[in-house]
Amino acid sequence: MDDLIGSKAAAAITTANYKRPRRTSRNQTHQPQDSMKDVVGSKMEAEAAVITTTIKKRPRRVRPTKSKPKEEEEALKEVDMEDLGFCGNEILEIRAFLLEWYDRNQRDLPWRRICRGDDEDGSDRRAYDVWVSEVMLQQTRVQTVIDYFNRWMHKWPTICHLARASIEEVNEMWAGLGYYRRARYLLEGSKKIVEGGGVFPKTVAALRKVPGIGDYTAGAIASIAFNETVPVVDGNVIRVVARLKAISANPKESVTIKNFWKLAGQLVDPSRPGDFNQALMELGATVCTPLNPNCSVCPVSNHCHALSLAKQNKSAQVTDYPTKVVKSKKRHEFSAVSVVEILDGQDMIEELQPDGRFLLVKRPDEGLLAGLWEFPSVLLGVETDLATRRYAIDQFLKKSFNLDLKKSCTVVLREDIGQYIHVFSHIRLKMYVELLVLRLKGRKNVLHGKPESETKAWKSVDSKALSSMGLTSGVRKVFSMIQKFKQNKSEPIPGKARKRKTPSS
Between CA 337 and CA 474 the distance in angstroms is 11
Between CA 141 and CA 136 the distance in angstroms is 9
Q: Which is nearer to ligand SF4, 243 or 486 (CB)?
A: 243
Catalogue the E-assigned strands of 55-135.
none
Residue 434 β-bridge partners: 338, 416
Residue 431 β-bridge partners: 335, 420
Catalogue the E-assigned strands of 247-390.
331-342, 357-362, 373-374, 377-380
Instruction: List Cβ neighbours of 226 (8 Å cut-off, separation of 6 or more).
Output: 123, 127, 202, 203
- Catalytic-residue membership of 134: yes
Q: Which is nearer to ligand SF4, 101 or 334 (CB)?
A: 101
Contact call for residue 243 and ligand SF4 (CB under 6 A): yes
Question: Which residues within the stretch 198-227 sit at the binding site for ligand SF4 (CB under 6 A)?
Answer: none
Which DSSP state fits 58? Answer: B
Question: Which residues within the stretch 63-92 sit at the binding site for ligand SF4 (CB under 6 A)?
Answer: none
Contact call for residue 417 and ligand SF4 (CB under 6 A): no
Geometric angle at alpha carbon 463, from 458 and 465, rounded to 5°: 70
Of the CA atoms within 13 Å of residue 130, those in its CB half-sphere come to 29
Binding mask 278-317 for ligand SF4 (x = CB under 6 A): ---------xx----x-x--x-xx--x-xx----------
* Min CB(294)–ligand SF4 separation in Å: 6
Binding mask 317-346 for ligand SF4 (x = CB under 6 A): -x----------------------------
Q: Which is nearer to ligand SF4, 127 or 285 (CB)?
A: 285
Reduce the DSSP state of residue 298 to 3 states and report it: coil
Between CA 477 and CA 463 the distance in angstroms is 14
Stretch of 37-45, 238-246, 401-409, 419-427 lying at the interface with ligand SF4 (CB under 6 A): 238-246
* Min CB(220)–ligand SF4 separation in Å: 21
Contact residue for ligand SF4 among 10, 159, 162, 240 (CB under 6 A): 240
- How many residues line the site for ligand SF4 (CB under 6 A)? 14
Binding mask 169-198 for ligand SF4 (x = CB under 6 A): ------------------------------
Q: Which of 308, 304, 229, 214 is nearest to 264 (CA)?
A: 229
In the set 45, 78, 120, 134, the catalytic residue is 134
* Min CB(287)–ligand SF4 separation in Å: 5
* Min CB(142)–ligand SF4 separation in Å: 18
* Min CB(316)–ligand SF4 separation in Å: 12
Q: Which is nearer to ligand SF4, 204 or 298 (CB)?
A: 298
- Long-range pairs of 90-94 with CB within 8 A, sequence gap ≥ 24: 90/40, 90/303, 91/5, 91/10, 91/13, 91/266, 91/267, 92/13, 92/15, 92/18, 93/18, 93/36, 93/40, 93/300, 93/302, 93/303, 94/244, 94/267, 94/300, 94/303
Reduce the DSSP state of residue 414 to 3 states and report it: strand
Between CA 233 and CA 391 the distance in angstroms is 49
* Min CB(478)–ligand SF4 separation in Å: 42
Binding mask 244-283 for ligand SF4 (x = CB under 6 A): x---------------------------------------
* Min CB(328)–ligand SF4 separation in Å: 27
Q: Which is nearer to ligand SF4, 174 or 260 (CB)?
A: 260
Contact residues toward ligand SF4 (CB under 6 A) are: 240, 243-244, 287-288, 293, 295, 298, 300-301, 304, 306-307, 318
Catalytic residues: 134
